[in-house]
Structure 1
Amino acid sequence: MATPTSPAFFLLHVFLILVCSSKKGHAVSANEITKTYFRDVHADSLLPSSVCDQSNKASSLKVASRYGPCSVTGDPKTFPSAAEIVLQDDIRVKSLRTRLSMNSSTTGVLNEEKTTIPSTHNGAGYTVTVGLGTPKKDFSLLFDTGSDLTWTQCEPCLGGCFPQNGEKFDPTKSTTYKNLSCLSEPCKSIAKESAQGCSSGTCLYRVQYGTGYTVGFLATETLTITHSDVFENFVIGCGEKNGGKFLGESGLLGLGRSSIALPSQTSSKYKNLFSYCLPASSSSTGRLSFGGEVSPAAKFTPINTKFPELYGLDVAGISVGGRKLPIDASVFRTGGTIIDSGTTVTFLPSTAYSALSSAFQELMTNYTLTNGTSSFHPCYDFSKYANDPISIPKISIFFEGGVEVDIDGSGILFAANGLEKVCLAFRDNGNDKDVAIFGNLQQKTYEVVYDVAKGMVGFAPGGC
């Protein structure tokens, strides 16, 4: 008997569509059905390129991968190996889950690192350039929906700083820089997000990341997004002791949900609305936009209040090759799901991952399976298809409210070792209890809209 996940079921599905269509007077070929539920991907498009194809709207910040020819630091890094991405994601996911498991009332003390609430940045991610200070100086910052505080490295870096491209921010050369007191509201707020302390009445902070940290003064400064969007008295961290894998960037732009995150601080102008589009590859650029008109093509799903610090979404199902997988809804509800700009691949509950992996493999029998890795499988040898398209089944993630995200080809496959080992770009949570994560590979080419004021996240195809 054909089961909903078997090849026989898929053939039956095609047959029924052919019959029904012919009854309506329109003959549909099997080839048309294949085109409907499969997509052609050029294998070499999965590999890094040395040429940057830039495209951006004037009203937005240019988004670039920190790797490859579009890197805004001017010092492009080699794209990380599969093992490095696995390590980076594992550290970030552990940090996310630790943060979620902590009681929301926990506060940190600057000299007690064990009580520091971790933020979620790691070695992966995308960068934008913003201006700080008066006169304005430009700095390359990683943007992160899983972090709240915007900060940059500051002179004199008495505690030591990591290497960065260009000059560090010098508060003595800005006429608008001002340290905040321990009695200020931002200082009270930062205590909920990180370790906090005082020095002669001046507010100090410490944020511990999965792969680094920043310690310094909480201050206000002028933030310049575009030439017409300038925000005075914007709360930042001026880090004088910093460490970690930032690969030349100056710091971080926090797009989280707390009162010190950028969306909240700029809500008077941007109405707590921002969006981004992550490019299909490291050799092209995307954009990060604030406020403005929302794409009419965007379909919205509610932000789950289960995760007040992060952007939680409710997954309703997954389809492969046009077939909805038989996964009970409780599988997604148990641990919940968050959308994250800094986790590379999507982490799924074990039950869902097993169903996805099996269904994908059943529809890829025309290609040669190769040994997978400890984290990625199935994997295929596409070395002989370097100049030819490969046909892969479409994968869609469904969210509450009838929202379907049809994953771009760049988010379905991942080149783990050149074209000799190209793998399904999803990972197993290891259980059904931990929070699942909708990663940035699967968000590529979509305009992802965060309407925080309305409590919604939207997806519009063809965003960049």
Structure 2
Amino acid sequence: MAGAPAISVVPRAPEGVSLPAYLGASVGTTNYIMTVGLGTPARNLSVEIDTGSDQSWVQCEPCVRCYGQQDPLFDPARSCAADRECRYEVTYDDYSHADGTVARDALTLAASRALPIFVFGCGHDDAGLFGKTDGLFGLGRGKMSLPSQAATKYGAGFSYCLPSSPSAEGYLAFGGGAAAPANTQFTEMASGPEPWSYYLNLVAVKVAGREIGTPPPPRPCSRREAPSSTRVLRAPPLSLLDTCYNFTGQTRVKVPSVDLVFAGGATVSLNARGVLYVSTVSQTCLGFASTWDETSVNILGNTQQKTLTVVYDVAKQRIGFGAKGCN
């Protein structure tokens, strides 16, 4: 209309969402879990979260060979559209595997905040180190990962904080809920052989302020640099962790500082529980395992990431670390 004042429309930023994340001891896994609502109506399921893969899946009826989970199997016949002609197969680094058919259904990440169409896998042949969880959700870089599918609703990028104990609560956040705290230090993502994985350049490792070499970080651990204490006894290895101690009778144990230095100068100081993995007082191990191959890509595991805010800034192709994100 002539003479009418111009009206500027400012695009509304995508609304973010944040979910609680926990250490999965209650369901028999040392990995981290979250609860999501899958189906119409939504059914709550506890799933592992994994940044090293894209495929999200839950165990479904009918199941040919499934591991024992804590909840009844998801029944796709009640709500979702399954494509029995389209199959998926995932094999993980620990030789766990998940095979099944592709399905589509609504995914609820928080109250009244659902993705109306979420593509996932219905597992019918699954085995491995999944504990009693109902499945696994991939947070990798590919198009089928949860962050990629959620980006259309919540915006690109996500962050999380992994708590240090089963009794503490962390979080997994998407979009606007994944803002970086003020103390975040960023380093650029690097290229790597697997397009679905996130890569960083680790340039140095410091123990008690002293630089002890360049990657791979497990090598310094093989030198048996024990946490300082008097008369610390060695303990048997725990799975892949070969440097373990018996702290029975110790009233005070001093754990040396461990800092990871990434390209661009970002320095991550590990929490004490990011240095030591405590199985029991009599079997506490350095939380680093050897790859046994200097040419292999090393993994920054969930033990080292405990209590840190880890921010995946997809738009700027960088990853940030902030101290004291959760307990």
TM-score, structure 1 as length reference = 0.61
Q: Decide which moves more: 303-312 or 393-402.
A: 303-312
Of residues 21, 43, 47, the one that matches 1:63 is 21
Which string of whole-angstrom CA distances, capped at 9 and with x for unpartnered residues, describes residues 244-301 of structure 1? 3422211111111111111111112333311111111123221111112221221111
C-alpha separation in 1, matches of 2:234 and 2:208 = 23
Of residues 291, 311, 320, the one that matches 2:207 is 320
Of residues 275, 282, 286, the one that matches 2:170 is 286
Of residues 289, 294, 298, the one that matches 1:427 is 289
Q: Decide which moves more: 268-277 or 393-402.
A: 268-277
What 5-or-longer segments of structure 1 have no aligned partner? Answer: 1-57, 78-122, 181-198, 333-346
Are the aligned partners of 1:213 and 1:242 in contact in 2 as well (CA < 8 Å)? yes
The equivalent of 2:5 in structure 1 is none
Residues 40-189 of structure 1 aligned to structure 2 (within 5 Å): 59-67=17-25, 71=26, 76-77=27-28, 124-157=30-63, 159-174=64-79, 177-180=80-83
Q: Equivalent pairs: percent with the same residue?
A: 37
Residues 360-371 of structure 1 aligned to structure 2 (within 5 Å): 360-361=225-226, 364=228, 366-371=229-234
The equivalent of 2:249 in structure 1 is 384
SS of residue in 2 equivalent to 1:383: coil
**Greater strand share, 1 or 2?**
2
The equivalent of 2:114 in structure 1 is 230
**Greater helix share, 1 or 2?**
1
Letter in 2 for 1:316: V
Structure 1 residues 367 and 424, CA gap change in structure 2 (3 angstroms):
farther
Deviation at 1:241, TM superposition (A): 3.0
The number of aligned residues is 305
SS of residue in 1 equivalent to 2:168: coil
C-alpha separation in 1, matches of 2:304 and 2:129 = 24
SS of residue in 2 equivalent to 1:313: coil
Structure 1 residues 393 and 134, CA gap change in structure 2 (3 angstroms):
same
Structure 1 residues 373 and 463, CA gap change in structure 2 (3 angstroms):
same
C-alpha separation in 1, matches of 2:285 and 2:61 = 44
Say yes or no: does 1:217 pair with 2:122: no
The equivalent of 1:453 in structure 2 is 315
Structure 1 residues 229 and 368, CA gap change in structure 2 (3 angstroms):
same
> Runs of at least 4 residues of structure 1 off by over 6 A?
none
C-alpha separation in 2, matches of 1:149 and 1:421 = 35
Structure 1 residues 372 and 273, CA gap change in structure 2 (3 angstroms):
same
Structure 1 residues 353 and 435, CA gap change in structure 2 (3 angstroms):
farther
Letter in 2 for 1:178: A
C-alpha separation in 2, matches of 1:274 and 1:237 = 22
Of residues 111, 117, 123, the one that matches 1:239 is 123
SS of residue in 2 equivalent to 1:267: helix
Say yes or no: does 1:265 pair with 2:149: yes
C-alpha separation in 1, matches of 2:142 and 2:269 = 30
SS of residue in 2 equivalent to 1:266: helix
Structure 1 residues 154 and 376, CA gap change in structure 2 (3 angstroms):
closer
Please report the RMSD computed on the Cα atoms of aligned residues, expressed in angstroms.
Answer: 2.4
C-alpha separation in 2, matches of 1:376 and 1:160 = 30
Are the aligned partners of 1:214 and 1:242 in contact in 2 as well (CA < 8 Å)? yes
The equivalent of 1:406 in structure 2 is 269
Are the aligned partners of 2:115 and 2:153 in contact in 1 as well (CA < 8 Å)? no
Of residues 90, 95, 101, the one that matches 1:207 is 90
C-alpha separation in 2, matches of 1:377 and 1:248 = 26
